[in-house]
Amino acid sequence: MGNAAVAKAYADIIAAIAVLNSALNGAGGSGSEVSSEADLLRGLGDTCLDILSGAAGVEARMAALKARAAVEYADTAQAIASPGAPVQAQEMAVTAEIACVLAIGERAASALLNQSQLLMTVLPLTLSALQAGTISWQHARAMVDEAATLDPAGAASLEAHFLDPDAPNAAGGCPAGEMPAFRFRHRARTWRERHHTESIEKRHAKGVLDRRVEYAPDQDGMAWLSAYLPADQATGIWNRTTAVARGLQGPDEPLTLTQLRADIFAAALLGGGNPAEHDPGQDPPPRALVMVTVPVFSLLGATEEPAMLDGYGPIPASMARDLVANGADSFYRVLVDPRDGAPLEIGRANYRLTKAMRNWLRLRDGKCPFPGCSNHSLDNEADHILAWDKGGTTGVSNLGQPCPKHHRMRHTSAWEPTPATKNEPPGWISPTGRHYKSEHQDWEPPHWPKEPKPEGRRTGHRLPTRREGYGDPDFVHTGISLGEDRVERFLHSTA
């Protein structure tokens, strides 16, 4: 290295890594001769977790350093370039140099440089969090990807929502850097869908034109088959195959859920139906359910605010109205109050206490509350946080809804949930005593229509058919499970 200070700094870093490796060799030893083997092992475990935690922070800081260095090098190379040199050739030369010094491909180097430039110029809070070690490079990339199609004001609002605790509408629950990057990407995408300057209806219409099926050969006589579909179709297919696969599982079934899904998918597309249809003694497969949360004015057609599709995220209002109006009985609708975003009704057929409480849990949590798990709500199981035989109640504040995997882990290991509330899911305490927060639903009050139609308070007797469409002002969509009288009273009370 040409810079002596830089060379010394990296030498110190390498020396520090050697110290950490040595700590692993002798971790847990307190120097006391009376320490038990269990104490030594416990100390080793704690040291390993401390090193992992510290390494994550150092990796984040190094990623920020790489981003700064890449941008500074590109700016420096541009400043010293020969006057009149072609811009494209200069960019190619810079990218090639970064690719060579990092031993990566030029496409990867170009992506790194583009991401770094966005961090340096548009996303200062994200860069600061990366430099502080509170988010990872994967989190930063997710922020960059979601902000890339927003205007500067939208990008600033996006990162403020997740990274500025003093923002007017800051995200609640688990901090961005404490959830896995793929979960953070989902939440950032959800925010982007809600706040993009171009309506989700227009963007969805463009996306539908790109729908396709792709085929890619793989190793060992295998291949990948993937489809780019509208969200309701893709989610419905996924939940249907999952429901049928779960119905086929039993004590004598050797196949895993993943293997059964693949077999059902192949059988359906190749014309063989699902495996259950070939066994006359097999019970009918369970019905797949998908929860759709719809702002009431959006369902009425007064606004175009996105609905929320469980396990996916925001979908166009037209898609949600279509699911409700055209007999999609696998989709379970939830209406939310336009005043504060609270659930307004959870279906007419489910008023018994146990079902209502289960549905409230699904709304409160949205998914399995275990950190990093994305198993969606309709596939999870209600669980008492404080056991019934120890005095626990059946109130929502004493209930969680972990997925089957984490439900088993909760009862077969030392992992324990922390208390919940009516509106917040439980966190978790690991066997080593570390506390981990759970994500919260990122609710927002629905939008009010700019000019509510007076006739919407008096008329409307049915939902239009798909052919009639939803843009026709003659149709006021009150044929929903609320009942027309309740819609009229609701609209009068909020007018």
The secondary structure of 93-136 as a DSSP string is: HHHHHHHHHHT--HHHHHHHHHHHHHHHHT-HHHHHHHHHTSS-
Better-scored residue on pLDDT, 474 or 237: 237
Calpha distance 298→324 (Å, rounded): 12
Burial class (CB in 10 A: 0-12, 13-18, 19+), 79: exposed
Least confident of 129-143, 182-196, 395-409: 395-409
For residue 328, pLDDT beyond 70: no
Q: pLDDT value at position 160? A: 95
Least confident of 167-171, 243-247, 324-328, 344-348: 344-348
Residue 417 pairs with which residues in a beta bridge?
428
Closest CA to 428 of 190, 170, 178: 178
Q: pLDDT value at position 274? A: 52
Confidence of residue 88 (pLDDT cuts 50, 70, 90): confident
Confidence of residue 289 (pLDDT cuts 50, 70, 90): low
How much is the average pLDDT of 284-307?
A: 72
Tokens 């295998």 correspond to 222
Q: What is the 3-class SS of 201-224, one letter each residue?
A: HHHHHHHHHCCEEEEEECCCCCEE
For residue 402, pLDDT beyond 60: yes
Alpha-carbon separation of residue 397 from 70, 207, 384, 394, 423 (angstroms): 49, 41, 9, 8, 8
Confidence of residue 483 (pLDDT cuts 50, 70, 90): very low
Confidence of residue 338 (pLDDT cuts 50, 70, 90): low
pTM flag (> 0.75): no
Q: pLDDT value at position 353? A: 34
Calpha distance 398→426 (Å, rounded): 9
C-beta atoms surrounding 452 within 10 Å = 16
Burial class (CB in 10 A: 0-12, 13-18, 19+), 356: middle
Q: pLDDT value at position 36? A: 76
How much is the average pLDDT of 260-265?
A: 93
Answer for the pair 425, 448: CB distance below 8 angstroms, yes or no: no
Helix (H) or strand (E) holding 9: helix 4-26
Q: pLDDT value at position 488? A: 46
Our measurement of the distance from residue 421's CA atom to the centroid of its chain's CA atoms, rounded to an integer in Å, reads: 22
368: tokens are 């399995």
Burial class (CB in 10 A: 0-12, 13-18, 19+), 56: middle
Answer for the pair 322, 207: CB distance below 8 angstroms, yes or no: no
How much is the average pLDDT of 66-75?
A: 94
Q: pLDDT value at position 135? A: 96
For residue 469, pLDDT beyond 60: no
Q: What is the residue-averaged pLDDT of the chain?
A: 79
Answer for the pair 298, 341: CB distance below 8 angstroms, yes or no: no
How much is the average pLDDT of 423-441?
A: 86
Answer for the pair 206, 168: CB distance below 8 angstroms, yes or no: no
Alpha-carbon separation of residue 376 from 62, 245, 259, 364, 417 (angstroms): 34, 16, 20, 12, 18
Q: pLDDT value at position 53? A: 92
Answer for the pair 131, 96: CB distance below 8 angstroms, yes or no: no
Tokens 């929320």 correspond to 308
Least confident of 85-94, 150-159, 223-232: 85-94
Tokens 């969606």 correspond to 376
Tokens 């709304």 correspond to 363
For residue 476, pLDDT beyond 90: no
Answer for the pair 415, 409: CB distance below 8 angstroms, yes or no: yes
CA angle 442, 328, 463 (to 5 degrees): 90
Better-scored residue on pLDDT, 365 or 491: 365
CA pseudo-torsion sign 195, 199, 201, 207? negative
Calpha distance 308→313 (Å, rounded): 5
Confidence of residue 463 (pLDDT cuts 50, 70, 90): very low
Q: pLDDT value at position 336? A: 65
Secondary structure (3-state) at 183: helix
357: tokens are 């409480």
Better-scored residue on pLDDT, 108 or 423: 108
The C-alpha torsion from 192 through 444 and 308 to 287, rounded to 10°, is 150
Burial class (CB in 10 A: 0-12, 13-18, 19+), 340: exposed
Q: What is the pLDDT of residues 184-229, one digit of tens each?
A: 999 999 999 988 989 889 999 999 999 999 999 888 889 999 999 9
Cα Rg of the chain, angstroms: 27
Confidence of residue 423 (pLDDT cuts 50, 70, 90): confident
Residue type, 419: P
Better-scored residue on pLDDT, 414 or 284: 414
For residue 351, pLDDT beyond 50: no
Contacts of 182 (CB under 8 A, 6+ apart): 138, 374
Angle subtended by helix axes 37-80 and 124-132, to nearest 10:
140
For residue 309, pLDDT beyond 60: yes
Confidence of residue 301 (pLDDT cuts 50, 70, 90): confident
Calpha distance 125→352 (Å, rounded): 47
Q: pLDDT value at position 128? A: 95
Secondary structure (3-state) at 262: helix
How much is the average pLDDT of 246-270?
A: 90
